[in-house]
Amino acid sequence: MASTIALKQRIKSIKGTRQITKAMQLVSASKLRRAQEYAAASRAYADLANELLTRLSGISEVEQQPLFEKRAVKTRLYIVITSNSGLAGAYNANVLKQLTKGLQIDQDAKVRSQVIAIGNKGAQFARRLSEVELVAVYPAFGDQPTANDVRPALNTIVNAYKDHTIDEVCVLFTKFKSTVVQEAQSLQLLPAQTLAVDKKVTAISNFEPDVETVIDQVAVRLIEAQVWQSVLESVASEHAMRMMAMKNATDNAKDLIDDYTLELNTARQSAITQELAEITGGAEALNG
């Protein structure tokens, strides 16, 4: 059994840690409300972008457009959305598992793999992989990302695809479903493809000023909407998972404090019992 001094030090240390985890839980809960509102508010726009891409992909003219061109995949680019810091449960690990799975498939198929990391955790992981080329690193975009934040990464992706440097682009992110449910997902960005929608879609035949101009200007913006929504979903998921992780840490700290307090009281009782026994033994010895 540990000494009473050591037990007191452990209890004091755990109480300090509990205060930190409780504060982080409250901060994450506050940020989660705002991030959840942003993600939910833009979903209708992202869904509309998906539907418009579906309509465009049903037009014969898009086959001549660079972003819709389908070719044999020799190089695949992954956009990995993670956080700058840890203490968020399995948030980063789930996305990196998706990346590992994709890299294994590429390796078996003799496909080169490239990574653009949004968030330092993804960059740290990619740097340790010898068979992966880390193209660019962007720090996490904060709690209120905008379309301007993702545009530099988007321009890099679009230009590389048009130059035939890469043949396919996938974004790996965490879909926010609820406070307790978040799911790591992979979404193909390029080549732009037909996406599932609830209702039947018919091809649009009338364009102004012309088909080529509309596709050139609109396709990039629609893909940008997908990337932006992926970032918003990831931000909400990060705060949700960090809030739950800190809540669990706070609860575990309370349980540890209770256990150590019980052990401390037991140690004190044992010490008092031993002292009483020594006093009684000494008194009997004197009386004898």
Whether 202 has a pLDDT exceeding 90, the answer reads no
Model confidence pLDDT, tens digit, residues 1-45: 568 888 899 999 999 999 999 999 999 999 998 888 888 888 888
Give Rg (Cα) of the chain.
28
**130 confidence band (pLDDT: 50, 70, 90):** confident
Domains observed in the chain:
23-244 (3.40.1380.10)
Model-level pTM? 0.81
Mean pLDDT for 119-133 is 90
Model confidence pLDDT, tens digit, residues 163-191: 889 999 999 999 999 888 999 999 888 88
Is 116 or 62 the better-scoring residue by pLDDT? 116
Model confidence pLDDT, tens digit, residues 12-24: 999 999 999 999 9
Q: Tokens 């540890």 map to which residue?
A: 256
**197 confidence band (pLDDT: 50, 70, 90):** very low
Rounded-to-integer distance, Cα 25 and Cα 274, Å = 44
Q: Tell me what the pLDDT averaged over the chain comes to.
A: 85
Q: In the chain, what percentage of residues exceed pLDDT 70? A: 88
Look at residue 225 in the predicted model and tell me its pLDDT: 86
